[in-house]
Amino acid sequence: MGRGIVFLVGGFSVCLMLAAGCSLDSRVDLAAASAMDELAGAVETVVKEYHGEIDRGDDAMEAAVVDAFVARVRRDVSDDALVDSHSEAFRSAMQRVRDDRAVEMNRYRAALDNVDLVREVARGLRRLATESMSFEDDARRYLFSLLESASSGATTPGT
């Protein structure tokens, strides 16, 4: 679920920011880049908090599995068959805990990759805005020089 939210929010934001950047000026691109950086920071915080909560839950689950195993072994210490059965159940439960941790770690990494992607798009927007500002300034200077030369050419006799 957390991964889907990151994809949804990140993708929606990227689309909106790119659409705004394509149709408006470089100031909007800069504002969009800043908003995306803020969004990335907020999502990263949420992802890290969620990861911490899942880690604590997995730790509690692991402790419960160990405690249950110890209690069963103490209760059935004289029955080798039951102790063997408890050992197998313990190994199986610990494997499930490890598998859950691995799945959560993959989700965590994927979410952080999405955060990095949003930041990369923000950097791209910022670079595009900067280049656009430079282009706009160059275009203004060129038009101004054309107007200057046209007006000075019109007033100069014989040219």
Q: pLDDT tens across 6-30, in order?
A: 555 555 555 555 555 444 577 888 8
In this prediction, residue 40 has a pLDDT band, given cuts at 50, 70 and 90, of very high
- Structure token pair of residue 134: 């430079």
Q: In terms of residues, how long is the chain? A: 159
The Cα–Cα gap between 108 and 92 comes to 24
Domain boundaries, the chain: 2-125
Residue keyed to tokens 């899942």: 54
- The pLDDT value recorded for residue 140 is 73
Q: What is the pLDDT of residues 119-145, one digit of tens each?
A: 999 999 888 888 877 776 777 777 778
Q: How far is CA 113 from the centre of its chain?
A: 5
Residues 6+ apart with CB under 8 A from 135: none
- The pLDDT value recorded for residue 153 is 66
pTM, to two decimals:
0.64
